[in-house]
């Protein structure tokens, strides 16, 4: 496996102002000093974590998706993050993964009921893995982090990406669960959160992390506003898996999607 460079963008988000957020994020991206393979944005990066689903929703292929596609071509990389997308007679919290040649998406499976997300958004059903530059990449959104069965590595991914609006009150959970997901799945993990506060008065501490498969912290953004780049070593990942092949003793299971 080749190495993979990943750029984490951790920033404040203007409440329900997609144009302002695209401009801000676009300036950060255009100012990057080094080339990168993937740029990871927070959950609902155009609006903040708003329950005004219909008011904020874009159509598939809408303004933000086109903007991501243009950036992907200009910077020769993949970009990913989630936005509200109207489809199937409702709205999904949809994580887009856009490359210069292709687009795939993942609809958030676990909706955060403590904020009423399960009443405003449709529940996704499919686990999604994107393939990019020799890496298999699991797409996950925020609250999904608390449900390890759904993200269990079936020897089908190398990197898990978590995009989030995770409040600072539970920052310890965010940090520890990201590390746990890396160790238990023998995969690299990148989690990107936002900073600042939103219109509901919730504060966000950031804590965007990049983690190696053995749980070692490769990048910790703390409360920094901006971008950070990390290089994930494909050789180190393969060597670790071969030297400590605990996946050979994993229990077989079948995922039951249950009820929404």
* DSSP alpha helix (H) spans, the chain: 18-30, 53-56, 63-75, 117-120, 171-185, 234-243
Class of residue 138 by CB neighbours under 10 A (exposed 0-12, middle 13-18, buried 19+): buried
Catalytic residue among 11, 77, 86, 142: 142
Q: For strand 4-10 and strand 226-232, is the pairing parallel, antiparallel, or unpaired?
A: antiparallel
Q: Which of 71, 41, 53 lies closest to 16 in space, CA to CA?
A: 53
| Residue 117 CA to its chain's centroid (Å) | 18
Task: Give the largest CA-CA distance in the chain.
Answer: 51
Is 11 marked active-site? no
Is 188 marked active-site? no
Catalytic residue among 43, 58, 65, 117: 43
CB 167 within 8 A of CB 202: yes
Is 77 marked active-site? no
Catalytic residue among 77, 86, 108, 117: 108
Q: For strand 195-197 and strand 217-220, is the pairing parallel, antiparallel, or unpaired?
A: unpaired
CB 213 within 8 A of CB 241: yes
Q: For strand 209-211 and strand 217-220, is the pairing parallel, antiparallel, or unpaired?
A: antiparallel
Q: How far apart, in Å, are the Cα atoms of 154 and each of 40, 113, 136, 229, 247?
A: 24, 28, 12, 28, 9
**Residues 6 or more apart whose Cβ sits within 8 Å of residue 147:** 109, 110
Cα(197)–Cα(231) distance, integer angstroms: 30
Catalytic residues: 43, 108, 142
């Amino acid at each position: 496996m080749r190495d993979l460079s990943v750029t984490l963008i951790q920033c404040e988000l203007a409440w329900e102002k997609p144009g302002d957020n695209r401009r801000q994020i676009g300036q950060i991206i255009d100012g990057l000093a080094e080339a990168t393979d993937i740029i990871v944005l927070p959950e609902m990066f155009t609006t903040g974590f708003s329950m005004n689903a219909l008011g904020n929703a874009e159509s598939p292929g809408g303004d933000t998706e086109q903007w991501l596609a243009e950036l992907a071509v200009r910077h020769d990389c993949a970009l990913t993050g989630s936005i509200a997308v109207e489809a199937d007679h409702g709205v999904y919290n949809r994580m887009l993964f856009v490359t210069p040649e292709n687009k795939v998406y993942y609809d958030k499976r676990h909706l955060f009921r403590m904020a009423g997300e399960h009443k405003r958004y449709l529940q996704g059903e499919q686990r999604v893995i994107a393939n990019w530059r020799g890496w298999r990449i699991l797409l996950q959104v925020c609250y999904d982090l608390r449900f390890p069965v759904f993200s269990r590595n079936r020897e089908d991914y190398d990197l898990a990406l978590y995009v989030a609006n995770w409040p600072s009150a539970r920052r310890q959970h965010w940090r520890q669960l990201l590390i746990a997901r890396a160790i238990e799945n023998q995969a690299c993990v990148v989690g990107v959160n936002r900073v600042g506060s939103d219109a509901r008065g919730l504060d966000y501490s950031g804590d965007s992390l990049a983690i190696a498969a053995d749980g070692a912290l490769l990048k910790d953004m703390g409360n920094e506003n901006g971008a950070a780049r990390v290089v994930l070593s494909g050789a180190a990942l393969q060597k670790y898996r071969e030297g400590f092949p605990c996946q050979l003793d994993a229990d077989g299971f079948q995922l039951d999607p249950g009820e929404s």
